[in-house]
Structure 1
Amino acid sequence: MTDNTRVRLNHDMPDQVPQSLPTLVSPDGAVILRPYQPHDVGRIVEMIGDPEFARWTNTPVPFTDSDGRAFLVATAARVSSGELLAWAIEAEIEGVRRLCSCLRIRLIGDGRGDISYGLHPEGRGRGLVRAAGRLALDWVFDAVGLEVVTWNCVVGNWASRWTALGLGFRVGGVARKAYARRGELVDVWIGEVTRDDSRESAAPPRQPVLTGPGVRLRPFAERDAPRIAEACNDEATQHWVSILPRPYRLSDAEGFIEWCREGKATGQEWTWCVAGTDSDECLGAITLFGLAARDGAGEIGYWAHPDARRRGLTSVAARLVADFALGPGPAQTVRLFVAEDNHASQRVAERTGATRVGTLPAYSVVRDGTRTDMILFLRGRQPAADR
């Protein structure tokens, strides 16, 4: 939820919150959208006062009971004026129906609206906002007559972005310094869904977790940043991957993790953390590029943490990704480019089942500025009868 308004109203709560909104119920009855009620104050304070909620918004910290009452008063006034549609999202938690989330659509005019939402900690990971959002969007397009609903959130709020994609929003880019958060202007992602859109999920397929002998390929997480920095400051990695910053800072590693998430969210590429099965620590990275390529041509790239070298783990990981790409994955062909003198990387490419098919002279530049030939390896999808 992004809302720049810091509410500080010296009003008592009304006895009744305006009932001009309909109550919407999901087909299975599991999710209910209803107008706010005075007894919601406690749950609202827990929700908005949660650190994860505050991280992405401009709400007061700490968020007190007084703030909660002021929030309800301000919401009631805006609903009554026709400026805002605001629902409490109710679902069952441990056998008791409770406020688990909130959803609001601001009416901008000219057939336009703007959606925002937030979750109580107990409501996370349950798909409540997706279910509630579909109900709300259906209603505002059909009953209110809106033509388009826009969405935005602070860059980095991946939970909100994945929810928006699941609701059918087309995420189209970044508005720079478009939101004032605690005295700082920050970038926001923007998206929209129109009345004529299917409102089916716009999210790409989920990235799978792959497992093999000694390795587990999973998405990167914030905790991996120090290990990424260690690997990318290594002399061998720096030599062969000359585009890496030098020195490679922790902030560069954090940026790499965000790049991985962006590739997953756009469906362009998947990057896995090569983790050990014994400790789950980061031992390298492997990327499958070209997920959306129309010609079905994928590409695999990888680097290894020094701790993983000469253990065969990168080879296992690369083979897992190649097998996936050419099996249930989208690729018809996978290719790998390896420097002529990088013999360890060549062995990894060979162990994916790919074949050396040619050389690209002076195709790449290493850290000292010299150019090096690149070897092209290819592996194609086997006919179904041969699998």
Structure 2
Amino acid sequence: MTEPLPWPATPPAHGSVVLREFADTDGQLALELGEDPYVPLIGSLPAHPTGREAEEWVRRQQTRHAEGRGFPFVITADETVVGTIGLWLRNLSEGAGIVGYSVSPRHRRRGFATDALKAMTGFARTVPGVERIELYIEPWNRGSLRAAEKAGYRREGLLPAHQEIGGTARDMLLYVKP
């Protein structure tokens, strides 16, 4: 395993949000996100997690950086935990960082995703090797599409059957911030 890139000395922030490392106390976020019908389909969080499963998910997020996978952050607004966002580096050899994000259902439609994307974009620009930032969004996900566009990302194209979600190959829209 290669040495992970350094964690940011100053937490990324924009507008109403600050991005911070996962803490042991973030299990409630996992419980909230696990109740969403979509979020468990796109990652390692089980649907309707137990308290123990939520704690295990938080621990997995805490190890991702040391494993060299990327930078998982918790999105906070006025110190309230509202979601998660990550910069993933599996395509770093191609100059690309991939951003994924989820906002807890009870905190949606308040601009947190847009502010988190702007904060993450600023941070991603400091990561050696990241020349392009990519988002993969399902065409039906209007909230995520709005957040991406408000954060200055542009649609580059439709990728048919690009990603498996919930056991089905799904079309994804590719949004980029060159």
Q: Same fold (TM over 0.5)?
A: yes
Cα 1:259–1:242 change in 2 (3 A) is: closer
Aligned residue number for residue 231 of structure 1: 33
Q: Work out the CA distance in 2 between the residues paired with 1:315 and 1:355.
A: 14
Aligned residue number for residue 332 of structure 1: 131
Among 117, 132, 138, the alignment partner of 1:318 is 117
Q: Work out the CA distance in 1 between the residues paired with 2:71 and 2:90.
A: 8
SS at the partner of 2:27? helix
Structure 2 runs not aligned, ≥5 long: none
Structure number with bigger Rg = 1
Once the two structures are superposed, the pairs formed by residues 152-171 of structure 1 within 5 Å of their partners are: none
Equivalences, count: 176
Q: Work out the CA distance in 1 between the residues paired with 2:30 and 2:72.
A: 13
Aligned residue number for residue 307 of structure 1: 106
Q: Work out the CA distance in 2 between the residues paired with 1:243 and 1:361.
A: 23
1:251 matches 2:52: yes
Conservation of the 8 A alpha-carbon contact between 2:30 and 2:58: no
Which letter does structure 1 place at the counterpart of 2:172?
M
Which letter does structure 2 place at the counterpart of 1:373?
D
Aligned residue number for residue 359 of structure 1: 158
Once the two structures are superposed, the pairs formed by residues 171-320 of structure 1 within 5 Å of their partners are: 204-207=5-8, 208-238=10-40, 241=42, 244-277=45-78, 280-290=79-89, 293-320=92-119
**What is the CA distance between 1:253 and its match in structure 2?**
2.3
**What is the CA distance between 1:372 and its match in structure 2?**
3.1
Conservation of the 8 A alpha-carbon contact between 1:203 and 1:265: yes
Q: Work out the CA distance in 2 between the residues paired with 1:265 and 1:242.
A: 18
TM-score by length of 2: 0.85
TM-score by length of 1: 0.42
Which letter does structure 2 place at the counterpart of 1:351?
K
**What is the CA distance between 1:348 and its match in structure 2?**
1.7
Instruction: Report runs of 4+ in structure 1 exceeding 6 Å deviation.
Output: none
Conservation of the 8 A alpha-carbon contact between 1:232 and 1:244: yes
Root-mean-square deviation (CA), in Å? 2.5
Cα 1:347–1:293 change in 2 (3 A) is: same
Q: Percent sequence identity over matched residues?
A: 28
Cα 1:376–1:270 change in 2 (3 A) is: same
SS at the partner of 1:267? coil
Which letter does structure 2 place at the counterpart of 1:301?
G
Once the two structures are superposed, the pairs formed by residues 38-187 of structure 1 within 5 Å of their partners are: none
Aligned residue number for residue 27 of structure 1: none
SS at the partner of 2:6? coil
Q: Work out the CA distance in 2 between the residues paired with 1:242 and 1:297.
A: 20
1:378 matches 2:152: no
Cα-to-partner distance string for 1:89-111 (whole Å, 9 max, x where unaligned): xxxxxxxxxxxxxxxxxxxxxxx
1:346 matches 2:145: yes
Conservation of the 8 A alpha-carbon contact between 2:4 and 2:65: no
**What is the CA distance between 1:232 and its match in structure 2?**
1.9
Which letter does structure 2 place at the counterpart of 1:221?
A
Cα 1:372–1:293 change in 2 (3 A) is: closer
**What is the CA distance between 1:320 and its match in structure 2?**
1.1
Conservation of the 8 A alpha-carbon contact between 2:33 and 2:39: yes
Q: Work out the CA distance in 1 between the residues paired with 2:45 and 2:162.
A: 17
Q: Work out the CA distance in 1 between the residues paired with 2:5 and 2:38.
A: 35
Conservation of the 8 A alpha-carbon contact between 2:45 and 2:57: no
Cα 1:205–1:215 change in 2 (3 A) is: same
Q: Work out the CA distance in 2 between the residues paired with 1:237 and 1:291.
A: 20
Q: Work out the CA distance in 1 between the residues paired with 2:62 and 2:44.
A: 20
Q: Work out the CA distance in 1 between the residues paired with 2:88 and 2:4.
A: 18
Q: Work out the CA distance in 2 between the residues paired with 1:298 and 1:203.
A: 14
